[in-house]
Amino acid sequence: MNNPAVSGLLRLTLARACAWALLITGWIGIGSLALRLAPTVTTGFALVALWLFALGAAATVATRGGLPRRVRALALVAGAIFTGGGLLATQHNADLPALGAALLGWAALTALASGVVRGLRQSQPVPPGPPIVAASLGALSAGLVLGDVGDLTTLAVRLAGFVGAVVLVLLVLQRRIDAKPRAPGCRAGLFDCSLPAWPAGAWRDTAQWPTLLAGLAMLPMMAALPLMADWCRALAFPPQAMVLLHLAAMFGPALLLRRSIAHWSLRTLSTVCAVLLILGAACAIWAAAPFDLLGLAVAHGAAWGLAWAGQLWAPARRGQQGASPLRAAAGYALLTLAFGLIVQQAGARGVADVHAALGIAAALAWVIGEFVKVWSRETVTRRRVP
């Protein structure tokens, strides 16, 4: 390609898509293997929590910058061998140590992919836009690779092959990273600015609560998706369709509305997120199976996607510059453990109850936010009146 700027942007888009595909495929794929190989549901969720924490720890190192190309290349190859070997070993021994090796290797690979994205972004002469298209491509790839997450015989093989293919692409892309980036560094979240964390003081602003709650919806849904696929199978709904439907809900609305979201006010974004969370809660409480889980997956997936896209377009609502992903990963890991305990005790009803609670909390948060806004306006008006 003759235009260096265009070719550089295409390389960045491809790297972002690979990174997102690694994140989503690992989250659902590792979770599927963990929940079936672990002796209890709680242990399976604990393994997913370990993966999240390991990802944050690895990303803290891999996104700092300054990693030589040869070192990164060797790390990518070693991570692919480690991960692929662990995945294939689970098919022969079906033991947790092999899964643990794959888990740690996948976390390292995802963090290294984040470093590649960071390096390519910093090499762009003009700051690129939000990675909504790239993330959507990554999610589509993940959904196709995962297939039937309940078929453990071929799942590990598909995952191992996917890891090898993605690493080959990243090896080619990372060779074009400039030794001295021309653009300033970005905050240290996963995939550079693609998955930023919320600011530490965001919860002090009541107007943001519905959007913040929507940002939390991804965690229980992704963690429980392997179990939800099994429950849908029992109701004659294809598991692969369940996975694809949820991923389409997460990224489809954000992709279609990506231009208009840039102009949404904070109030509009919060209102839309609140409506979707309430709709998902209504499905979880009153809809008959399997439409309770399907409606929940669509509504809360869309709520997360719009909250994420709105956050990317609004720098004031992003995480602080240089924030470490380890803190966010530790929080996600603790929430995953707590969610696992609920699912262990209540099963599918526990998943529905957690999401119903998010919807109810969003409704209350929106009402409180509107009340605070009206009260603040009236207070200002009274002060102006002599």
Q: What is the mean pLDDT of the chain?
A: 83
Q: In which domain, by residue range, is 164 found?
A: 1-196
pLDDT exceeds cutoff 90 at 220:
no
356 and 281 Cβ atoms separated by less than 8 Å = yes
The tens digit of pLDDT for each residue in 268-318 reads: 999 999 999 999 999 988 888 778 888 999 999 999 999 988 877 665 544
Rounded Cα distance between 71 and 174, Å, is 11
- Among 170, 196, 222, which residue terminates a domain? 196
pLDDT exceeds cutoff 60 at 187:
no
Side chain identity at 6, as an amino acid letter?
Answer: V
Report the 10 Å Cβ neighbour count for 155.
24
What's the CATH code of the domain at 20? 1.20.1250
Helices (H), the chain: 4-37, 41-62, 69-93, 96-122, 132-146, 152-174, 209-216, 218-234, 239-256, 258-261, 266-286, 291-313, 325-346, 348-384
Domain count, the chain: 2
| Same domain, residue pair 245 and 166 | no
pLDDT interval class at 370 (50, 70, 90): confident
Residues above pLDDT 70, as percent of the chain? 84
Note the pLDDT of residue 319. 46
Burial of 1 (0-12, 13-18, 19+ CB in 10 A): exposed
Calculate mean pLDDT across residues 118-139. 85
| Same domain, residue pair 87 and 22 | yes
Report the 10 Å Cβ neighbour count for 194.
24
Within a domain: 13: yes
- Among 154, 179, 196, which residue terminates a domain? 196
Within a domain: 341: no
Within a domain: 299: yes
| Same domain, residue pair 38 and 175 | yes
| Same domain, residue pair 243 and 233 | yes
Closest CA to 170 of 118, 107, 104, 112: 112
Rounded Cα distance between 339 and 184, Å, is 38
